[in-house]
Structure 1
C-alpha cells in the first residue's frame, strides 16, 4: 500500500477528510471516581451512558418557518449510575454506611433547541428504576471481579425498587452580545430544573468556554456538531476548555432518601443536604467525526451523613456518521 494512501485513510479515520456534516452521533460516557487516581472508591462511584444524538428531519424543515431557531436536535440515552458509601471494604458494618447503597438505571428521550442569539434549551423525559432492579450491585461486582478487587459488602442495605419518571429542563443563556463576542471566549448563564419521584432539584451557574470553538449551534459542548447542512460548519476542529461552577437546591433524591411512594424497610438511608456546590472543569478536542472529552467534577455532600465531598472524572468519546439529506 502506498504511503500516500495510508495517510489518506488515517486522516479520514480521524475525520480530517473534508468538512462535511453528519446527522447522527453516538456518544459513550464513563464516569468513575477512580479516574481521579486517588485510590478512593465511593459515593458516586460509577456511571455509564450510551447516547444517540440525531437531527430530526421533520422538525429541521420547519426551522425555516421561524426566525428564532437555527437547529433542533434529538437524543436517546441509556444509562446506569452507582452510588455507595465512602468506604466499601469487605468488613463494612451498617453503622459505617455514610451514604446509601443505590443504583439508578434509566432510559431518556431529549430535545435540544438552538437559538440564533446563542441561547440553548434542552428538555428531556426519563423513565428508570432504583433498587435491585437497577442492577447496580451486579455491575459493581463484575467490575471488581474483572479487576481482581475485593467484593464490597452492604448491598443488602440498598434502597428498594421503585420506578421513577422524571422531566428536566436545561437552559443556557448567552451573556456576551454578538457585537463584541470573542471568538475565544463565551459565557452562558445556566439553569436547570428536574421534577420527578427519583430526583427533584433546581440549579443555576455560569459556563465559561475558552479556546477554539464553534458557535453554540455547531459546538460539541452542546452535542451540536451533527447537521444535514454541509455549509453550516465553519471550523473542522475544536480545542477548548470550560469551567462550570453551579449551585443546586435539591428537594428530593431517591438514591439518598429511598422510595418516594412507600417505606424502605431494611434500607440504610440518610437525610439530604439541600444546598450543594458543584464545579466541572473540562477539556474537549473535536474533529469532524470524533469528539474526545475529559471532565473533572467536584461536588458537595448530597447526604448529611457523608463524611466528605465527592469528586470523579468523566471520559467521553463521540463518533458522527450518516449522510446528509438533500
Structure 2
C-alpha cells in the first residue's frame, strides 16, 4: 500500500513539473522577429516595370539585454537586413540608349541598425549600410529569372546599366509623438532622417498620421517595436496611416553612379534635389504575426523623367 502511494505521489510530482514547464512555455515572450518585405509596381496591376520596379528585403531583429535600459528607456532592439532594390528606365524593354530616362541598375546591400525607444514615445536609431550598384548587384539575373518564372515579356536594356561601385552609408533617425486624441484612436508623429555616405546622402522630414487601433510608439508595428525587452505582452493593432515625406537629395549613386568612378556608366543623371513621397497603407499585428500593405507614389527623381512613379508594397513579420 505504501509503495503504491509512493508511486502515485511520484507520478503526481512528475505531472506537476511537466504541467509547470508547459505553462512556462505558454507564457514565453518573443525575443526575435523575422521580417520580409517586397516592393513592386506590379502590385498596382498596371503591368509595368518602371523606375523603382522591385525591392526584396529580409530582416531579423532581436531585443537587447533589459539590464542595459536607462531609466527613461522603454525598449531597445537591434537588427540586420539584407536586400536588393532594382531600377529600370520607364520600361524594362529598352532598345536604344536614348530611351533611358532613369539610370538602370540594382542596389544590393547589407545593413545593421540599433534602435532605442523611450517612455516619452520618442525614438532614435542608427544604421550602417554597405552596398553595391552595377553588375555585382545582380539586377539583370534577378529580373530575367522573375520574367521567365512568370512568363512575362523579354527584358532588354541592361547593357546600359551603371558600372560597379561599392559604398558605405550611415543613417541617423529621430522622431516621436506630436499629438494623440483622448480616445486613443488617432495620433500624429514625426521623424527626421539624415544619411551620409558614398551611395546615398540626404535629409528627410516626415510627419505620420495613424487612424484606428493603435499602440504607443515604443510597442507598435508602425515603428518596428512590437518586440519588447522586458517581455511584456503587446496589444493587437489595426490601423490606417498616411505618411508624406519631403526628401533632399545630396547624392544618389543609383542616379549618378559611383562617387569615385571616372567612367560611371553609359547614362547618368543629376537628381532632382527635392522629392515628395506619399505613403498610404494599413497595418495589422496580433500576437506573433504582423502584416502590412502600402501604396507609395512620388515626384520625379530626375527632372527629365517621362513619368512620376508609384508602386505597392507588402510585408509580414513573425516573432518567436
TM score, norm. by length of structure 2: 0.89
Moved more, 203-212 or 19-28: 19-28
CA 1:25/1:152 → structure 2, altered by over 3 Å: closer, same or farther?
Answer: same
Alignment of 1:261-276 (within 5 A): 261-264=260-263, 266-276=265-275
CA 1:187/1:18 → structure 2, altered by over 3 Å: closer, same or farther?
Answer: farther
Alignment of 1:15-164 (within 5 A): 21-57=29-65, 60-63=66-69, 66-89=70-93, 92-164=95-167
**RMSD (Å), alpha carbons:** 1.7
Q: Structure 1 unaligned runs (5+)? A: 1-16, 322-326
CA 1:258/1:199 → structure 2, altered by over 3 Å: closer, same or farther?
Answer: same
- Residue 219 of structure 2 corresponds to which residue in structure 1? 218
CA 1:20/1:287 → structure 2, altered by over 3 Å: closer, same or farther?
Answer: farther
- C-alpha displacement of 1:19: 7.7
CA 1:247/1:266 → structure 2, altered by over 3 Å: closer, same or farther?
Answer: closer
TM score, norm. by length of structure 1: 0.87
Q: Once superposed, which parts of structure 1, at least 4 consecutive aligned residues long, lie more than 6 Å away?
A: none
SS at the partner of 1:34? helix
CA contact (8 A) 2:255 2:268 kept: yes
- C-alpha displacement of 1:87: 1.9
Query: Which of 166, 174, 177 is the matching residue for 1:174?
Result: 177
Q: How far apart are the structure 1 equivalents of 2:308 and 2:157?
A: 21
- C-alpha displacement of 1:186: 1.6
Q: Structure 2 unaligned runs (5+)? A: 1-24
- C-alpha displacement of 1:54: 0.8
Moved more, 167-176 or 273-282: 167-176
CA contact (8 A) 1:270 1:304 kept: no
State the aligned residue count.
296
Q: How far apart are the structure 2 equivalents of 1:258 and 1:55?
A: 37
Larger radius of gyration: 2
- Residue 260 of structure 1 corresponds to which residue in structure 2? 259
Moved more, 142-151 or 104-113: 142-151
CA 1:223/1:265 → structure 2, altered by over 3 Å: closer, same or farther?
Answer: closer
Q: How far apart are the structure 2 equivalents of 1:249 and 1:212?
A: 33
SS at the partner of 1:175? strand
Q: How far apart are the structure 1 equivalents of 2:92 and 2:291?
A: 31
